[in-house]
Amino acid sequence: MPGPSSLLIELESVYYTYPGSKFAALQDICAHVGRAEFISVIGPNGSGKSTLARVMAGLLLTSGGRVLVNGLDTSRPESRQEIRRNVGLVMQNPDNQLVAAVVEEDVAFGPENLGLPSAEVFRRVEEALAAVGLSDMRSRPPHMLSGGEKQRLAIAGVLALKPLCVVLDEPTSMLDPLGRQEVLQVLERLAESGTTVVLITHHMDEAACADRVWLLDKGCLLFDAEPAALFGQLKLLHELGLTSTSAGELAYHLAEQGFALPAGIVTMEDMVKFLCRVLK
């Protein structure tokens, strides 16, 4: 068991029901996110992934149970601003989260809201833009950027608040392969540098990059495990209308034809390694 100080977000039997709805969007979610951990969340459409993201960022207050961020209860109004600073949320459509007509001004928006002195705002803008590789585009208007660049800009806008954790709600679903790769590289760099990352995605090959994967269905947390363990559960994934990673699916096809492969083949690398071993 990790000690309490190593936990960044604690979800204690969290329930959430949207006002006016009969069904709980989240039911009895018990989980935790450790410091510097990279977690991905998968699940069918409508399984409660976005709700979970908003609950973790303290934007929605639980209907039952509680959420602690860095030890602070999200339901307490006096800790709201600090929770906002500690947990950044990036949403699916970058167009709707960029607030300024110039790249650097957009990144500056967060630090300006904190009332930091101009020199500090400037430094944070520099750092955040460098972290996502957009330093050369600082004076461009956001609507002239590509999808991948816009989403990296949205991430920079959150990073400028120096959060402990960044939660991303399907940040790549509107992007082309190149844009997706750019965003994913940024996330991997972030995770390496000690920022906690929670990535909601329906690209299984992306989800497999994480340390742990959460599987949601109908508001319940069905699975909380390492990628290798989850992506071997093909029956379960298929029943939910999901897939495994491409390599996992290939292993499944082979198994159906009578070649059960050893467990734990999740990535292209795993697959190539295995085939080299048996075919050479």
Contacts of 145 (CB under 8 A, 6+ apart): 103, 137, 153
**Alpha-carbon span 217 to 223, nearest angstrom:** 9
Q: Does 22 bind other proteins (CB under 8 A)?
A: no
- Extract the tokens encoding 11: 């979800």
Applying CB under 8 A, which part among 33-41, 61-69, 157-165, 183-191 lies near other proteins?
157-165
Structure tokens at 34: 């450790």
Q: Does 93 bind other proteins (CB under 8 A)?
A: yes
- Sole binder of other proteins in the list 40, 51, 92, 233 (CB under 8 A): 92
Judged by CB under 8 A, the number of residues near other proteins is 83
- 35 or 140: CB nearest other proteins: 140
Q: Around Cβ 255, how many Cβ atoms within 10 Å?
A: 12
Strand ranges, E, within 127-184: 165-169
Residues 6 or more apart in contact with residue 134 via CB below 8 angstroms: 103, 149, 152, 153, 156
> Could you tell me the two tokens for 192?
């390496």
Per CB under 8 A, which region of 8-16, 153-161, 191-199, 213-221 contacts other proteins?
A: 153-161
Residue 122 touches other proteins, criterion: CB under 8 A = yes
Binding mask 207-246 for other proteins (x = CB under 8 A): ----------------------------------xxx--x
Among 29, 33, 91, 191, binds other proteins (CB under 8 A): 91
Min dist CB 242 to other proteins, Å, is 7
